Amino acid sequence: MNELEELPSLTNDPRPYYAKWQETEGLDVVRGMFVEDLRQVPLKPWKRKGALGAYINLEGTGGENDAYLCEIPPGGSLRPQKHLYEETIFILDGAGATSIWLEGETKVSFEWQSGSLFSPPINTWHQHFNTQGNKPVRYVAVTLAPLIMNIFHNSEFIFKDSFQFRDRYDGQQNYFNSEGRLSKSPEIGIRIWETNFIPDVLKIDLIEWKERGAGGKSIFFECSENSIAAHMSQFPVGTYKKAHRHGPGAHVIILNGEGYTLMWQENQPVQRYDWKEGSLVVPPERWFHQHFNIGREPATYLALHARQSIKHKSGKKMPGYDKNVKEGGDQIEYEDEDPAVKQMFADELKKRQILNQMH
């Protein structure tokens, strides 16, 4: 081949397939590091779902996953959908019902409300209904769409393939109302709740996790045989959690409380994000981050991850975020943190006349 011969270009658009497909949806895309209030994000008409929506692609996802907001009008419903990517749904506001079914088989339906968490099994038909006639439903969903889209780069296959994952869902009538079970793992002990539907995450009993500090409690969720996993954590008034780091894509949704999160790359400036109920933050891969409660009630958050199922390992090592960085883990112990961290927290509590419990 002549060295001066110009080689043909494979594409005139270098963006990943997911980004190009997303553009066809006609929605706004929220970017950056933080969303102050998911309940206040403006939405646009969404033809594919027959409702209103917006995409959320924060930098911390690293292309592993995404999120979107959807609003169902009073008394309305979404169009039936199915797809070859996992999706976990958290109801921000409202009440309704969902029907799930395999092609040509009986539908299974269940009701939900604000605080409900569930996941339609992969590639099942599903349809969401707003059963209230006087107010809209708004939910946030975290999906593996970017990963799947960029692998297959064919939306017709992703939305129209007929394969049924019967090892995940086989039409069981009790799939969304069967009793969950508490499980354990060598990495994090007994704190994994296996279930397919949680009516209200704030009513789940949490388990103390001493290694994470400050008297905090937590629990992990595994739903619908997914690779996507979740965990919920709560920490008391006047306390903050130890700094830690892990992989990309953890969508941290503030359920209640007031506080802030510090995030930083090693040897880089610290960034601060002040949060309240409805806020969302996604720490980038391997960035240290630390959550601080400066409100007058315990702070609670729900984190929807990328591929961090413990039951269905993705080949990635479970993060050592409750192990000291000095021992090869990913957690900074209180005695090793920058003194400015303690001082900032003390100053914030003093402004609000809240007792500092970290002495």
Rounded Cα distance between 349 and 344, Å, is 9
Q: What is the mean pLDDT of residues 246-256?
A: 95
Q: What is the mean pLDDT of residues 289-313?
A: 88
Residue 209 pLDDT level (bands cut at 50, 70, 90): confident
Residue 231 pLDDT level (bands cut at 50, 70, 90): very high
CB 61 within 8 A of CB 304: no
Strand-strand pairing, 95-101 and 125-130: antiparallel
How is residue 120 annotated by DSSP?
P
Rounded Cα distance between 122 and 21, Å, is 20
Task: For residue range 28-80, list pLDDT tens digits in order.
Answer: 999 999 999 999 999 999 999 999 999 999 999 999 999 999 999 999 999 99
CB 259 within 8 A of CB 295: yes
Residue 309: pLDDT over 60? yes
Residue 348: pLDDT over 60? yes
Q: What is the mean pLDDT of residues 298-324?
A: 75
Q: What is the mean pLDDT of residues 278-283?
A: 98
In the chain, DSSP finds a helix count (H) and a strand count (E) of 4, 25
| pLDDT: which is higher, 259 or 183 | 259
Token output for 30: 């929220």
Q: Of 160, 230, 225, which is closest to residue 192 (Cα–Cα)?
A: 230
Task: For residue range 178-192, list pLDDT tens digits in order.
Answer: 878 888 776 666 678
Q: Which of 209-213, 215-219, 353-357 has the highest mean pLDDT?
A: 353-357
* Complete domains list, the chain, with CATH: 17-160 (2.60.120.10), 181-352 (2.60.120.10)
Residue 7: pLDDT over 80? no
Token output for 132: 């209230």
Q: What is the pLDDT of residue 191?
A: 78
CB neighbourhood size of 327 (10 A): 9
Q: What is the mean pLDDT of residues 245-253?
A: 94
Token output for 124: 């099942």
277-286, 311-320, 346-355: least confidently modelled range: 311-320
Residue 213 pLDDT level (bands cut at 50, 70, 90): confident
* Helix, strand or coil, per DSSP, at residue 95: strand
Residue 12 pLDDT level (bands cut at 50, 70, 90): confident
Four-residue CA torsion sign, 321, 323, 324, 327: negative
Threshold 0.85, pTM exceeds? yes
Q: What is the pLDDT of residue 5?
A: 67
Q: What percent of the chain has pLDDT over 90?
A: 78
Q: What is the pLDDT of residue 103?
A: 95
Q: What is the pLDDT of residue 114?
A: 98
Q: What is the pLDDT of residue 178?
A: 81
Q: What is the pLDDT of residue 323?
A: 87
Residue 3: pLDDT over 80? no
Q: What percent of the chain has pLDDT over 70?
A: 92
Mean pLDDT of the chain: 92
Rounded Cα distance between 196 and 281, Å, is 25
Residue 320 pLDDT level (bands cut at 50, 70, 90): low
Q: Of 221, 218, 168, 217, which is closest to residue 193 (Cα–Cα)?
A: 221
Q: What is the pLDDT of residue 317?
A: 53
Q: What is the pLDDT of residue 137?
A: 98
Query: For the chain, first and last CA: distance in Å?
Result: 72
Residue 345 pLDDT level (bands cut at 50, 70, 90): very high
* H-helix or E-strand spanning residue 141: strand 137-143
Task: For residue range 103-158, list pLDDT tens digits in order.
Answer: 999 999 999 999 999 999 999 999 999 999 999 999 999 999 999 999 999 999 99
Residue 315: pLDDT over 50? no
Q: What is the pLDDT of residue 2?
A: 55
